[in-house]
């Protein structure tokens, strides 16, 4: 893999705003989202992503005719116009342009708009159809601060692990309603690949997946992405904020690695490389991320001199997970990042002049060991953490299964005096606040090199769901044992579903953790649970008394 900064777009993907302003857009009179006879419609919402100081990526999907559903390959190529304005009424148009929604890209379209002003809120929309064009819903977005700007604050929503069948996406609705976010960071498992009823069990399915079978082909992945983007709360999130997304395993298959996955069977499901290619094509079509010619999502975004955000791809280049207890987890030839990506990350962290170095990682970097847990709790926790029922202190799908990469990265932070590194993580359906110790066994006598804030799942099952008990019925016992065996873990919530809000200033980075009342209720309410912060220069997580307002 060639090393380069993936925030730099290719010439083919950039739509220059200065040139776009010369393109005429027809008068837009048809009601938003409506279909004129058998004409086009915008049924999957609008989105924006990957904000830059001078640009933003806009996304939508056009349904050109009633039968042209996602994954079908049906429907004519359709001209689509877009425009971006300084006001919601579109009286001050900043840029406009045209593109084509093609069957070859599942009628999804992207416009990489440049020439915008930094740290500025914009409104955008699309239109399609002859005569009286149909309007898309209106979206709101925001550019990043200038590269060298002195920034007082940046604030992100943080989410992970949204299983369609396990519940409703009310965390997205609550984040959409917040006017104070610069962007939303999605840390992976945006979709799930399972057959309906296989995860969670059939009797707990809130709403069935489409297609019903496990997805393996390009058409399957397109249908699944399209299904997710019919959710009104997810549409609201995308329409309200730019989303910065990376993938984890379930965008492909469970416990994916560079050569396969736990639930991929080549004899019946074909070659893994074909499945990955299909999944990646659908992902880049359906997600508001800049398409990488190298087939990866690792990239870097900057928010003035306050924060650099380093985003990782921990599925495309990793070695196969080992069996629990295999001492080869320490083998320096094994990798979770791949050599080129690890070198890119190290160079970016050491060379950053930002106050904060934020790292978006789909799986937890902090080590996890088990103390004495009752058997009825050890089993379910082992399933969530990738551990055996015997409780060996290795989580082989996380960085615990690739200790050489972790040791090299942590040593690099120490050797180059890289401070204020905060890992932002999803994946394990629990909320954590951790120090990242140089030597876990001797913590807190040994130093902490960074901190880690892990957000819980939007809907995917956690401890109380697996045990089918009320929240905190058994989790307090498990959390106490986990913290006793892992003194670098400051706090863990094993039961809640929800989201985080990360507030960054020059003085501290603070994660506010929120939960929703019931993932199976469409109208679930949100409440604050806990806050943890890292003060500048400390490399330690400490409890904060209240969320940031």
How sure is the predictor about 2, in pLDDT bands with cuts at 50, 70 and 90? very low
How sure is the predictor about 279, in pLDDT bands with cuts at 50, 70 and 90? very high
Summary mean pLDDT of the chain: 90
Q: Are residues 37 and 63 in the same domain?
A: yes
317, 258 contact by CB (below 8 A):
yes
Q: Are residues 167 and 254 in the same domain?
A: yes
| Count of all residues that appear for the chain in the document | 549
Strand ranges for 365-497 from DSSP E: 421-425, 431-437, 448-454, 489-493
Chosen domain end from 142, 175, 205: 142
Q: Are residues 166 and 100 in the same domain?
A: no
d(CA 114, CA 7): 13
Question: With 50 as the cut, is the pLDDT of residue 29 above it?
Answer: no
Per-residue confidence (pLDDT) for residue 326, from 0 to 100:
77
Q: Are residues 174 and 94 in the same domain?
A: no
Per-residue confidence (pLDDT) for residue 372, from 0 to 100:
54
Comparing 440 with 233, which gets the higher pLDDT? 233
- Phi and psi at residue 56, to the nearest 5°: -155, 150
Contacts of 88 (CB under 8 A, 6+ apart): 123, 138, 140
Per-residue confidence (pLDDT) for residue 231, from 0 to 100:
98
Angle between helices 218-228 and 272-286 (to 10 degrees): 30
Q: Are residues 100 and 232 in the same domain?
A: no
Structural domain contains residue 305:
yes
494, 505 contact by CB (below 8 A):
no
Per-residue confidence (pLDDT) for residue 485, from 0 to 100:
85
Per-residue confidence (pLDDT) for residue 13, from 0 to 100:
32
d(CA 270, CA 289): 28
Per-residue confidence (pLDDT) for residue 9, from 0 to 100:
35
Chosen domain end from 117, 142, 167: 142
* 526-535/508-516 β-pairing: antiparallel
Q: Are residues 114 and 213 in the same domain?
A: no
Provide the 3-class DSSP secondary structure of residue 284: helix
d(CA 58, CA 20): 14
What is the arithmetic mean of pLDDT over 238-242?
98
547-451-505 Cα angle (round to 5) = 45
Per-residue confidence (pLDDT) for residue 386, from 0 to 100:
63
Question: With 80 as the cut, is the pLDDT of residue 381 above it?
Answer: no
Comparing 232 with 467, which gets the higher pLDDT? 232
What are 523-536's pLDDT values in tens digits?
999 999 999 999 99
Alpha carbon distances (Å) from 332 to 252, 259, 335, 336:
26, 19, 7, 11
Structural domain contains residue 47:
yes
Q: Are residues 138 and 158 in the same domain?
A: no
301, 50 contact by CB (below 8 A):
yes
What is the arithmetic mean of pLDDT over 45-68?
98
Structural domain contains residue 147:
no
Q: Are residues 531 and 479 in the same domain?
A: yes
Per-residue confidence (pLDDT) for residue 442, from 0 to 100:
84
Structural domain contains residue 149:
no
Per-residue confidence (pLDDT) for residue 405, from 0 to 100:
97
Q: What is the pTM of this model?
A: 0.91
Structural domain contains residue 126:
yes
Q: Are residues 380 and 474 in the same domain?
A: yes
73: left (phi over 0), alpha (psi -120 to 50) or beta: left
Annotate 51-81 with DSSP letters as a single string: EETTEEEEEEE-B-STT--TTS--S--EEEE
Q: Are residues 220 and 97 in the same domain?
A: no
Residue with tokens 């991929």: 264
Structural domain contains residue 360:
yes
Which token pair is 176? Answer: 């959409």
d(CA 337, CA 296): 11
The CATH number linked to 61 is 2.60.40.380
Q: Are residues 175 and 204 in the same domain?
A: yes
* 183-186/243-245 β-pairing: parallel
Chosen domain end from 142, 166, 196: 142
The CATH number linked to 222 is 3.60.21.70
In the chain, pLDDT over 70 holds for what percent of residues? 89
* 78-85/183-186 β-pairing: unpaired
Segments forming the whole domain that contains residue 220: 154-544
What are 66-115's pLDDT values in tens digits?
999 999 999 999 999 999 999 999 999 999 999 999 999 999 999 999 99
The number of folded domains in the chain is: 2
What is the arithmetic mean of pLDDT over 48-60?
98
Structural domain contains residue 6:
no
d(CA 26, CA 416): 56
Per-residue confidence (pLDDT) for residue 378, from 0 to 100:
60
Structural domain contains residue 278:
yes
Q: Are residues 195 and 92 in the same domain?
A: no
């Amino acid at each position: 893999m060639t090393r380069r900064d993936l925030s730099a777009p290719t010439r083919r993907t950039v739509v220059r705003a200065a040139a776009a302003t010369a393109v005429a857009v027809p008068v837009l009179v048809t009601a938003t989202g409506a279909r004129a006879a058998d004409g086009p419609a915008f049924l999957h919402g609008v989105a924006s992503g990957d904000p830059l100081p001078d640009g933003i990526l806009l996304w939508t999907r056009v349904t050109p005719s009633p039968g042209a559903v996602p994954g079908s390959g049906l429907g004519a190529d359709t001209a689509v116009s877009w425009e971006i304005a300084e006001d919601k009424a579109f009286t001050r148009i900043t840029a406009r342009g045209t593109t084509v929604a093609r069957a070859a890209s599942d009628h999804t379209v992207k416009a990489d708009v440049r020439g915008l002003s930094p740290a500025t809120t914009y409104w955008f929309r699309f239109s399609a159809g002859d005569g009286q064009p149909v309007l898309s819903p209106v979206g709101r977005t925001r550019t990043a601060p200038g590269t060298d700007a002195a920034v007082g604050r940046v604030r992100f929503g943080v989410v992970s692990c949204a299983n369609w069948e396990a519940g409703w996406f009310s965390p997205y609705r609550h984040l959409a309603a917040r006017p104070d976010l610069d962007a939303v960071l999605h840390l992976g498992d945006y979709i799930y690949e399972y057959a309906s009823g296989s995860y969670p069990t059939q009797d707990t399915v809130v709403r069935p997946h489409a297609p019903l079978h496990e997805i393996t082909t390009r058409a399957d992945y397109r249908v699944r992405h399209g299904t997710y983007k019919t959710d009104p709360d997810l549409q609201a999130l995308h329409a309200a904020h730019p989303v910065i997304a990376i993938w984890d395993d379930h965008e492909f298959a469970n416990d994916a690695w560079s050569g396969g996955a736990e639930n991929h069977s080549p004899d019946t499901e074909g070659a893994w490389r074909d499945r990955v290619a299909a999944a990646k094509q659908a992902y880049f079509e359906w997600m508001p991320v800049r398409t990488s010619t190298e087939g990866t999502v690792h990239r870097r975004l900057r928010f003035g001199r306050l924060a650099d955000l380093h985003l990782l791809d921990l599925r495309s280049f990793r070695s196969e997970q080992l069996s629990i207890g295999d001492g080869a987890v320490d083998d320096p030839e094994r990798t979770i990042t791949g050599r080129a990506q690890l070198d890119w990350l190290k160079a970016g962290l050491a060379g950053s002049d930002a106050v904060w170095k934020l790292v978006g990682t789909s799986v937890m970097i902090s080590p996890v060991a088990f103390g004495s847990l009752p058997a009825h709790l050890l089993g379910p926790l082992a399933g969530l953490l990738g551990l055996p029922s015997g409780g060996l202190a290795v989580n082989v799908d996380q960085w615990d299964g690739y200790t050489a990469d972790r040791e090299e990265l942590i040593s690099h932070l120490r050797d180059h005096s890289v401070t204020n590194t905060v890992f932002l993580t999803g994946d394990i359906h629990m909320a954590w606040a951790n120090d990242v110790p140089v030597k876990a066994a001797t913590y807190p006598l040994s130093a902490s090199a960074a901190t880690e804030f892990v957000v819980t799942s939007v809907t995917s099952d956690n401890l109380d769901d697996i045990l089918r008990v009320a929240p905190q019925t058994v989790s307090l016992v498990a959390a106490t044992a986990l913290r006793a065996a892992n003194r670098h873990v400051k706090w863990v919530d094993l039961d809640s579903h929800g989201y985080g809000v990360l507030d960054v200033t020059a003085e501290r980075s603070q994660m506010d953790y929120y939960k929703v009342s019931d993932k199976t209720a469409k109208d679930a309410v949100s409440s604050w649970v806990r806050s943890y912060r890292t003060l500048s220069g400390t490399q330690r997580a400490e409890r904060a008394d209240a969320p940031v307002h």
